[in-house]
Amino acid sequence: SQQGEEDPQALSIQEGENATMNCSYKTSINNLQWYRQNSGRGLVHLILIRSNEREKHSGRLRVTLDTSKKSSSLLITASRAADTASYFCATDSGNQFYFGTGTSLTVIP
């Protein structure tokens, strides 16, 4: 399976702290994407990083990609209570995206 696997499965932090989530995958990829899902809602695309990129920033988000280790990390800086959600990584392979199981982030006000 090429599914991404995130860790930790659950993360609870205080507002203002940074949150780091990791994703590992098994085979070569074209790109890796991070998505967010609020409970019971749709998936929202956060950021895409291509296989030839090592780091990308978007606002309070920072994504790194290490293709030699087949891993990626998502860092949310200065977290807010509104960041509470599940975060998924997704890798593309053939005609589909493979989603990981997600990290459930709780930001305590």
State which of residues 26, 53, 75, 97 lies at the interface with another protein (CB under 8 A): 97
Identify whether 8 is preceded by a cis peptide bond (ω within 30 of 0): yes
C-alpha to C-alpha distance for 15 and 82, rounded to whole angstroms: 9
State which of residues 98, 103, 105, 107 lies at the interface with another protein (CB under 8 A): 98
Nearest to 82 by CA among 103, 60, 109, 62: 109
Q: What's the token pair of residue 43? A: 């998936």
Q: Does 100 bind another protein (CB under 8 A)?
A: yes
Q: Does 92 bind another protein (CB under 8 A)?
A: yes
Q: Does 99 bind another protein (CB under 8 A)?
A: yes
Q: Does 18 bind another protein (CB under 8 A)?
A: no
